[in-house]
Structure 1
Amino acid sequence: MSQASPNYPPQPIVIYQSGAGFWKLAAVFGWVGLFIAGLIVIGQWSALAEYFDVTNGLEEKYVSGGKFSSDKIAVISIEGVIMEGDGFVKQQIDRVREDKDVKAIIVRVDSPGGTVTGSDYIYHHLKRLREDKGKIPLVVSMGSMAASGGYYVSMAVDDQENVIFAEPTTTTGSIGVIIPHYDLTGLLDKLDVKDDSIASHERKQMLSMTKHISPEHRELIQAYVDESFGRFKNIVKSGRPIFQKDESALDQLATGEIFSADQAVKHGLVDKIGFLEDAVARALELAKLEKDSVRVVKYKRPASLFDIGAMAKAQQGSANISALTGLLEMSTPRAYYLFSAFPTLAASKRAE
């Protein structure tokens, strides 16, 4: 009778895989990398989303620098004849004020000036903007023209050094005030037409085109102009400290004369010859920022079908009222910081 074989318990089989720890580590790094990539995508999308933001009715447009950088240099454009001031320029100022990522400002001026009130309004709000933003750098870049009121608004730089740049072909200066007056009395006499207006006082009509300006009235108007002129010169001294020490030098320049860019540098009206990119470089230097870590932006009005329709409707009606508007502009006494042989005619083509 054969002997039964012993009953041994089953033995576990262990399979060792080489490199298992490596793959676990790789999986951890993979998830971490995916998380970081997600953060980068979210950050870039946040930056891009600002280009579609229409706060204050404006769109942000990329100019240069790091496209996805959070820190910004904002370009505020002042173009054309300055009238009331409370328009596109003010919208840009309000947009910049609300943007905490703006670390420096470029004021791009291409204007022959405009009304005394409109120019001073923009100057005031540019200065207030800089103060509200903690005295951040504000640099001026002059385009083809920054004359009279265009030069006036440039003085918002205060007493910063090397912050006004004029392009090689810029026309600037024209520091002065004018109240246009056209005497049509000779023509009316030939046509046998008389002004029979009834006014509360004779001075109510002292700038009427249908009457001569008497010596008494001319003296009153001159005093008004001199007061505005004095303010202009004080504003220039605030932005050009060199003239605080030598007021006679400013008096020699403040004759309404225009200057080339080279002449303006020579006389101390501007700091350097340079283009927009030079102004940006100076703003970066003053703000202590690196070029690749900042994006330069400017602003535009977003187009819509409603705007296009309104524009077409306005153009249809403009032909009927343009003559009347021009006549009213010419007959309305205003003081101008404006470089033009025909101020009121130029003002009818106003800046937006």
Structure 2
Amino acid sequence: MVQPLSNSPQPAPPQQIIIQNGSRGGILWRVLAVFGWLGVMFCVPIILAQAISSASYYNTTEGVNEKFFSGDKTADDKIAVINISGVIMSGEGYIRKQIDLVREDKSVKAVVVRVDSPGGTVTGSDYILHHLKKLKEERDIPLVVSMGAMATSGGYYVAMAVEDEKDSIFAEPTTTTGSIGVIIPHYNVSGLMKEYHVEDDSIMSHPRKQMLTMTREMSEENREILQEYVNQAFTRFKDIVKEGRPKFAADPEKLDVLATGEIFTANQALASGLVDKIGFIEEAVARAAELASIDVKTTRVVTYNQPTSLFDIGLSQSKAMNWDKMLELSAPKAYYISSYLPPIVSSFPLGAN
């Protein structure tokens, strides 16, 4: 029997009520997590930049890399070749970085200083000499000099880092050396100015402030003052030579004969005692190994290079003749240099030192 359809309303299905505990707290945590990650992403580059900056600040050898030169590539013991090339100005830079690398490398048992320089400023030459002697003393390792095409004036001055070591200065057969002396460049263009009706009307605190001006003829009084300055620098040069060449300390008059600014061939320098041997860098390396009591055949000889990019070359050229450099060139300086235009050569990047 079919039941009649009921017209009474059907009960509604039961509603499900979902209660989410801490829903506001979940949203808050998600917001904090987003900000946290953003903070990390923002802070990490800053921390890395500070770390790199700090490392760069304390890194004294930045941009200078060790390079295999000769010998046994797998050897532990090293002989380091420190290059001094071009005009010596401040003494900082490439030369100082090489010295610092050798000082830190305990596997270096001896040093060969390769000099190919006409010299430079008195202060720059003395600065390099000081740090070479300090390196030799602190590391207690032998130091030998190998002269290249030119080792004159300040270039010869830094070679005295060998001190009284026997058979320690090698000159190649075609080396030019000597030029022991001091010069303060001065040029007098007052006659030219007079011809073109140009006058120097500078205002100064004292007339001696312009002792080296090119626009006026130098007075005898000023010349005597500057000559005394040169004489003292010259005396120091000869004293340094006596430390590196003890035979001249025993007979100073022999040094006076040589210390006239004259340049010498390798054979002339050998005969007069300015150098010890005629030989190439290989002979200097062999002598350094002998002094260090190591076998040159089982030693790694290394040198140091300073990579230069096209950007660096362009930058150095753009700075070559800026106003700061022009002012620096006009400042009076004493030079240990073999050149007839000392102030001019310093404006060009002949030596990265």
Contact residue 166 and residue 274 of structure 1 kept, 8 A: yes
Of 215, 231, 236, 1:226 maps to 231
Deviations 1:66-110 (A, max 9, x none): 101011000000000000001100000000000000000000000
Contact residue 112 and residue 147 of structure 1 kept, 8 A: yes
Deviations 1:50-70 (A, max 9, x none): xxxx95431111111110101
Aligned equivalent of 1:341: 340
Aligned equivalent of 2:103: 97
Q: For the structure 1 residues 255 and 104, does the alpha-carbon distance in structure 2 shift closer, same or farther, using more than 3 Å as the test?
A: same
Pairwise CA distance, 1:312: 3.0
Contact residue 56 and residue 94 of structure 1 kept, 8 A: no
Deviations 1:4-42 (A, max 9, x none): xxxxxxxxxxxxxxxxxxxxxxxxxxxxxxxxxxxxxxx
Of 131, 139, 147, 1:133 maps to 139
Pairwise CA distance, 1:301: 1.7
Q: Which blocks of at least 5 consecutive residues in structure 2 are unaligned? A: 1-59
Larger radius of gyration: 2
Q: Give the alignment's TM-score, normalised by structure 1.
A: 0.80
Q: CA–CA distance in 1 between the matches of 2:247 and 2:312?
A: 49
Aligned equivalent of 1:351: 351
Of 179, 189, 192, 1:187 maps to 192
Q: Helix, strand or coil: the match of 1:104?
A: strand
Q: CA–CA distance in 2 between the matches of 1:178 and 1:251?
A: 17
Of 77, 80, 87, 1:81 maps to 87
Matches within 5 A, 1:20-31: none
Matched residue pairs, number?
Answer: 293
Contact residue 209 and residue 331 of structure 1 kept, 8 A: no
Aligned equivalent of 1:214: 219
Q: CA–CA distance in 2 between the matches of 1:343 and 1:59?
A: 31
Aligned equivalent of 1:19: none
Aligned equivalent of 2:311: 309
Q: CA–CA distance in 2 between the matches of 1:66 and 1:276?
A: 16
Of 233, 241, 245, 1:240 maps to 245
Q: Percent identity?
A: 59
Deviations 1:270-319 (A, max 9, x none): 0010000000010111111112221000001245xxx433433454x34x
Q: Helix, strand or coil: the match of 2:321?
A: helix
Q: For the structure 1 residues 284 and 252, does the alpha-carbon distance in structure 2 shift closer, same or farther, using more than 3 Å as the test?
A: same
Q: CA–CA distance in 1 between the matches of 2:130 and 2:62?
A: 19
Aligned equivalent of 1:120: 126
Aligned equivalent of 1:173: 178
- The one-letter code matched in structure 1 to 2:69 is V
- 1:151 equivalent to 2:153? Answer no
Q: CA–CA distance in 2 between the matches of 1:301 and 1:314?
A: 14
Q: Which blocks of at least 5 consecutive residues in structure 1 are unaligned? A: 1-53
- The one-letter code matched in structure 2 to 1:311 is I
- The one-letter code matched in structure 2 to 1:70 is D
Aligned equivalent of 1:274: 279
- 1:265 equivalent to 2:265? Answer no
Aligned equivalent of 2:331: 332
Q: Give the alignment's TM-score, normalised by structure 2.
A: 0.80
Q: CA–CA distance in 2 between the matches of 1:259 and 1:325?
A: 36
Pairwise CA distance, 1:342: 1.1
Aligned equivalent of 1:38: none
- The one-letter code matched in structure 2 to 1:84 is S
Query: Which 4+ stretches in 1 moved above 4 angstroms?
Result: 323-327
